[in-house]
Amino acid sequence: MKDTILLIDDEPEYRKLLAKLIRLEGFNVIEADNGKSGLEVLHYEDISVVVTDVRLPDVSGLQLLGRIKTISPNCEVLVVTAFGRIE
């Protein structure tokens, strides 16, 4: 069975492009457009990796990291951003 990656990003064009690239590498991809939706997915899907943007409309990617690890401790998380600086 292929690993499933959860991709959380509120910018649809970027999310769709990244999802397409990940699928080309043979992974299953589930997309979510905000942190709340992403967390809901973790409750009913076996997710190997979460890729999340740092800036989401409802929660930051860094806040999301802690919540993901509470729900799914073995899930790997990659936090990304298009911004040049993170304070």
Q: What angle do CA 71, 75, 79 make, to 5 degrees?
A: 100
Q: With cut-offs at 50, 70 and 90, classify the pLDDT of residue 83.
A: low
**The pLDDT of residue 10 is above 60:** yes
Tokens of 78: 């990659």
What pLDDT score was predicted for residue 28? 97
Q: What is the pTM of this model?
A: 0.89
| Percentage of residues in the chain having pLDDT higher than 70 | 92
What average pLDDT does the structure give for the chain?
90
Summarised one tens digit per residue, pLDDT across range 39-78 is 999 999 999 999 999 889 888 878 898 899 999 999 999 9
